[in-house]
Chains A and B, each alone.
Chain A
Amino acid sequence: MNDPYQVLGISESATDEEVKRAYRDLARKYHPDNYHDNPLADLAQEKMKEINAAYEEINRRRSGGSRPSGSGYTGGWQQQSGGSPIFQQVRAAIQIGDIARAESLLYSISDHTAEWYFLKGAVSYRRGWMDEAMRYYQTACQMEPNNPEYQRALNLMRNGSPYRPGGAPFGTLCAGNPCLTLCCAYTLCNNAYCCCI
């Protein structure tokens, strides 16, 4: 394991509060919500594991080796399973990054249900076709407004990036306009980032 203090970017003389702050900042940066449907999510997950292990190791050392592990963030990287076998195949293809297969499977389905639109959205997002991703997610949510999985994907796109260094606003229409800073500030509530706009 790398030096846990180096992983968190702090010195060994850092106070407990500084350790906690550094950990929280990094955990926010590599949070699964920040990499939802992101083709580089696996790399972020590795980073997150490294940060969690470093934080636990520092806590263990500072408590004389007696503190139980498991205090770090354990984010959900779960992928819900679809109802029909073909949708499960699409999800499996997306999961391993085989976007071409996921697309051809979706193309072969003539019944365009809410799940079909949701998966089209996930495929578009992975390809970087963000405008179409947004529109597919919106259609899925309109067809099944109470589906939490579709709603979550749409909300994460609408709310933008939960992380930005120094608390600066993240957004083209916020840039250089201090009046909008508050409007664009994210608030942390119930473990999810919600945009105040």
Chain B
Amino acid sequence: MYGYVRPPLDLPEAERKRFGRAYCGLCHTLGERYGPAAQFILNYDFTLLAILLSGPEEGDIHHGRCVAHPVHGRDRLETNSALALAADESVILAYWQLRDGVEDHDWFHGLKYRGVSAILEPAYRKAAGIRPGFDESTRRQLNLLAELEGEECPSMDQAADTFAVLLREAAQAVDEPVRRRVLEQLLYHLGRWVYLVDAADDLQQDAAAGSYNPVALRYGLPEGRWTEESRQSFAATLDHSIHMMATAFELWDFGVWTPVLEKTFYSGLFQVGRAVLDGTFRAKGGKDLPPGSP
């Protein structure tokens, strides 16, 4: 389900580099806390989570070499409490997503999910020990989602709510009440948007496989092809969630991260949503695009 968040295309150079430092900082923190096997889960979605959980200042920057950049090295953020929290939560999210993949596929096709989740298992056990509340809520929400998918829930909002609540819980460790409220709303609608965009992206694949798809059920699209009316209506519901993210974002001072977040909520998510609705997202690499520093 992850892989739909991208740094906005029109990000100025300085902000693109800042995003890159957060990306490399999260990668380094994952390696530091969970070993190199955990670094493969890194993606832009988890980087955005790290940025949202960060304080208003960027913090210390370190230049260093790594496996991905062995010659010239890269600037990265030094590990801090926000990166540590984002790393812990990312490991838990990635692990349960992989376990979900095992459940969703037959023995043969589930092999790769089983293999990768086994590699991530030690990291997951450690992360779950550090963040038991988040682990519990993630497991609960994914079970709920599996139940709804099993009974072919016709409500797109209800199905999306499970993943939205799951992501919202990533803010539970935030102490400041106003900041927590803002992040909860922002993450709820980010989760809703991600779930719905993923379902829209899978429309034709699910139609061919006869799999459950909440968007196809909502709009009556058995072939997985949009009608103009359903496309407009679906885009409107995506926009409503982006509106809720943007209005939440405006109620907290995100400091140095403000430009990158502003671009994400006012243009980046629209670009991805439009590419998914146009069918050009997969053609450009889609969510399987190999991660690399932005």
Contact = CB atoms under 8 A, between A and B. Distances in A.
Contacts of A174: 270
Contacts of B273: 172, 175
Interface string A151-182: 00000011011001100101111111100000
B143 interface: no
Given A40-B247, A44-B247, A173-B232, 6 more contacts: A40-B248, A47-B251, A130-B157, A130-B241, A132-B155, A172-B239
A177 B274 CA distance: 10
Contacts of B243: 160-161, 170
A130 B237 contact: yes
B182 interface: yes
Which DSSP category, helix, strand, loop or mixed, fits chain B's interface? helix
Contacts of B232: 173
Contacts of A134: 236-237, 240
Interface in A6-62: 29-30, 34-35, 38-40, 43-44, 47
B247 A38 contact: yes
A164 B181 CA distance: 22
B19 interface: no
A170 B185 CA distance: 19
B235 A131 contact: no
Interface in B223-252: 231-233, 235-244, 246-248, 250-251
Contact of B244 (A44, A128, A172, A173): A128
Interface of B: 155-158, 161, 164, 178, 181-182, 185, 188-189, 192, 218, 231-233, 235-244, 246-248, 250-251, 262, 266-267, 269-271, 273-274, 277
Given A129-B157, A160-B239, A172-B235, A40 B277 contact: no
B237 A128 contact: no
Nearest to A160: B239
B274 A176 contact: yes
A128 B188 contact: yes
A175 to B, nearest CB: 3
A139 interface: no
Contact of B270 (A30, A127, A133, A171): A171
Nearest to B241: A130
A104 B48 CA distance: 36
Contact of A34 (B161, B164, B238, B247): B247
A46 to B, nearest CB: 9
6 contacts: A128-B185, A128-B189, A129-B161, A131-B233, A168-B267, A171-B235
Nearest to A43: B251
B266 A168 contact: yes
A34 B246 CA distance: 10
A176 B251 contact: no
A130 B247 contact: no
A165 B157 contact: no
Contacts of A44: 247, 250-251
A131 B237 contact: yes
Contacts of B158: 129
Nearest to A30: B250
Contact of A40 (B218, B237, B251, B267): B251
